[in-house]
């Protein structure tokens, strides 16, 4: 077990890509989260999983309980807006009758799951029924109107025509169906970020069973942290079943150094925000959730 102040606890870290061509077609990067959830479902490790599906508006994510491969595949790719995944956590064990729940989500949602397991306040049956969690790397998130402003006002693209969005190499990238590529420097997008993200002290989903994201790996590949016993078992089986191509993280560019740099940037900045909140007013501060 490796313990890194910025990357959390993990058993191993690799660079990986799914071998499932259908998943890769619309995956954000290496198709890790989708492939893992489909595998867990087909192996009976989970009965269903909470995913960020398609909302009513273009590129609006909507949390859904997916119980088939088709439903999980609908959630491929990143939608850069808020999807309250945990709102289905208890309902998944009730209306949906799931005994083994999978959850995909970002860092704060992994934190929410673990709090719900250790301090299950009105979360009956949840602690024992969380079977598998896949966490995503996350720098910050955007309210829907923020994303709309970035895409429509700054990048000057119609949301309905967008094929893919991506945040990488210091820019917000918008790819349209007709082949247009527009970018917005992240300097211009910062002000649109969701405020609640600025006290978040996790970049790489430290509390997930397995966490994954693009940073650190080459294009089309994902960096994968295997963190818990549950995660390790599922990952080993999935790799043995030929679901992933893997490379040691030490052998890929840009590798863990970039990941550690970005993690440090986010966490140090947000730690500073948490500190500054203490003296926000005159002899009065804002509330500290970690105190």
Partner 1 sequence: MGLLNFVKKTMGGEVKHAQVATEKKVEATKEIKPVTNKIKIGHVHMSGCTGCLVSLADNNLGLIKILDDYADLVYCLTLADVRHIPEMDVALVEGSVCIQDHESVEDIKETRKKSKIVVALGSCASYGNITRFSRGGQHNQPQHESFLPIGDLINVDVYIPGCPPSPELIRNVAVMAYLLLKGNEDQKALAGKYLKPLMDLAKRGTTGCFCDLMNDVINQGLCMGCGTCAASCPVRAITLEFGKPQGERDLCIKCGSCYGACPRSFFNLDVIPEFENINEIIAGALKEGESDD
**Which residues lie near partner 1 (CB under 8 A)?**
8-9, 63, 81-91, 105, 108-109, 111-112, 114-128, 141, 143-145, 194-201, 206-207, 228-229, 286-287, 289-290
Q: Which is nearer to partner 1, 199 or 239 (CB)?
A: 199
Q: Which is nearer to partner 1, 117 or 180 (CB)?
A: 117
Q: Which is nearer to partner 1, 71 or 193 (CB)?
A: 193
The first and second tokens of residue 282, run together, are 């005159």
Cα distances from 125 to residues 47, 98, 141, 244, in angstroms, run 15, 10, 30, 33
For 255, residues 6+ apart whose C-beta sits below 8 A from its C-beta are: 216, 249
Between CA 223 and CA 14 the distance in angstroms is 6
Cα distances from 17 to residues 239, 253, 274, in angstroms, run 11, 15, 36
CB of 139 to partner 1, least distance (A): 13
Q: Which is nearer to partner 1, 90 or 100 (CB)?
A: 90
CB of 45 to partner 1, least distance (A): 17
CB of 185 to partner 1, least distance (A): 24
CB of 114 to partner 1, least distance (A): 4
- Helix H segments across the chain? 21-26, 32-42, 69-73, 89-93, 107-118, 126-129, 144-148, 186-189, 229-240, 256-277
Query: What DSSP string runs through 237-258?
Result: HHHHTT-EEEEEGGGSSS-HHH
CB of 63 to partner 1, least distance (A): 7
CB of 232 to partner 1, least distance (A): 11
Query: 3-class DSSP state for residue 75?
Result: coil
DSSP state of 99: S
Q: Which is nearer to partner 1, 187 or 284 (CB)?
A: 284
Q: Which is nearer to partner 1, 142 or 221 (CB)?
A: 142
What's CA 106's distance to the chain center, in Å? 3
Burial class (CB in 10 A: 0-12, 13-18, 19+), 287: exposed
CB of 72 to partner 1, least distance (A): 19
Q: Which is nearer to partner 1, 118 or 240 (CB)?
A: 118
């Amino acid at each position: 077990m490796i313990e890194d102040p910025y990357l959390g606890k993990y058993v191993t870290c690799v660079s990986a890509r799914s071998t499932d061509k259908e998943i890769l077609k619309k995956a954000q990067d290496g198709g890790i989260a989708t492939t893992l959830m489909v595998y867990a479902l087909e192996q009976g490790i989970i009965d269903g999983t909470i995913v960020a599906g398609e909302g009513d508006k273009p590129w609006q994510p909507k949390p859904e309980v997916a119980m088939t491969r088709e439903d999980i595949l609908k959630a491929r790719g990143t939608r850069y807006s808020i999807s309250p995944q945990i709102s289905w956590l208890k309902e998944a064990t009730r209306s949906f009758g799931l005994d083994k729940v999978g959850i995909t989500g970002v860092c704060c949602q992994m934190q929410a799951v673990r709090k719900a397991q250790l301090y299950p306040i009105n979360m009956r049956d949840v602690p024992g029924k969380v079977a598998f969690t896949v966490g995503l790397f996350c720098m910050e998130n955007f309210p829907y109107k923020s994303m709309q402003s970035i895409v429509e006002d700054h990048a000057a693209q119609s949301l309905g025509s967008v094929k893919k969005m991506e945040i990488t190499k210091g820019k917000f990238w918008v790819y349209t169906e007709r082949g247009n590529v527009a970018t917005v420097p992240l300097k211009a997008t910062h002000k649109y970020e969701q405020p609640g993200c600025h006290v978040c002290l996790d970049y790489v989903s430290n509390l997930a069973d397995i966490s994954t994201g693009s940073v650190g790996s080459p294009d089309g590949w994902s960096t994968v942290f295997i963190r818990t016993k549950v995660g390790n078992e599922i990952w080993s089986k999935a790799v043995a079943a030929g679901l992933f191509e893997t490379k040691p993280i030490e052998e890929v560019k840009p590798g863990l150094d970039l990941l550690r740099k970005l993690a440090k940037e986010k966490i140090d900045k947000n730690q500073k925000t948490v500190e500054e909140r203490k003296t926000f007013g005159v002899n009065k501060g804002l509330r500290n959730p970690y105190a």
